[in-house]
Amino acid sequence: MVIVKIGVLALQGAFREHKKMLESCGAEAIEVRTTDDVNSVDGLIIPGGESTTIGKMMVDWGLLDTIKDRASHGMPIYGTCAGMILLAKDIVGSEQPRLGLMDICVRRNAFGRQVESFEADLHVAEFGTEPVRAVFIRAPYIESAGREVKVLAVVDEHIVIARQGNYLATAFHPELTQDDRIHKFFIGMVQESLGK
């Protein structure tokens, strides 16, 4: 496997767990906090956390436009939970800062409050026959998706994994499990974008 350098946006949220998972999969992983960091990586993960806080920090720290620019030149981006919200073009009832890169409409805290967090087994053809154990914490879901968006999994008829070109989004936290298939899938997307 060709080693790729993947950044994890480290402003707030579960960035350390993503970094550890990427490293266990053989990727080089760095914590991203500056525009120079963004420009040094082959791909980027936007972790879970509080999407309005992360969005505001991306603006305040000058990262939003840099990430959009790298995305326009083909850099793959994977958003988990809050990261999925920040990738969406539309967020129900919110004008918060976002990247707006995926043609999806997301509903924040769609499955309920923290006490209504849950786990579920997802069947995702791209990841083989073994179900993916998904941890949903104050999770969003995708309410609607454009024609170029490929739906990879649903829970209770709500979209919870989707891909659009170089963008991948999950409503849950794969970094909180021992299952590394989604991170390996994203590493493969990054390698493919580099022609490796």
Percent of the chain with pLDDT over 70: 95
pTM for the model:
0.94
Tokens of 151: 């739906």
Domain range for 76 is: 5-194
Catalytic-role residue among 18, 175, 183, 192: 175
* Active-site option among 81, 126, 148, 158: 81
Element (H, E) at 100: none
Residues above pLDDT 90, as percent of the chain: 74
Based on the residue annotation, tell me whether 25 is a catalytic residue of this protein. no
The per-residue pLDDT for range 14-28, each reduced to its tens digit, is 899 999 999 999 999
Q: How many domains does the structure of the chain reveal?
A: 1
17 is catalytic: no
CATH number at residue 103: 3.40.50.880
The tens digit of pLDDT for each residue in 60-79 reads 999 999 999 999 999 999 99
- Please indicate whether residue 81 is annotated as part of the active site: yes
Instruction: Give the tens place of pLDDT for each residue, 119-175.
Output: 889 999 988 899 999 888 888 899 999 999 999 999 889 999 999 999 999 999 999
**57 closest CA partner among 86, 37, 100, 77:** 86
Report how far residue 68's alpha carbon sits from residue 91's, in angstroms, rounded to the nearest whole number. Answer: 18
List 17, 18, 173, 183, catalytic entry: 173
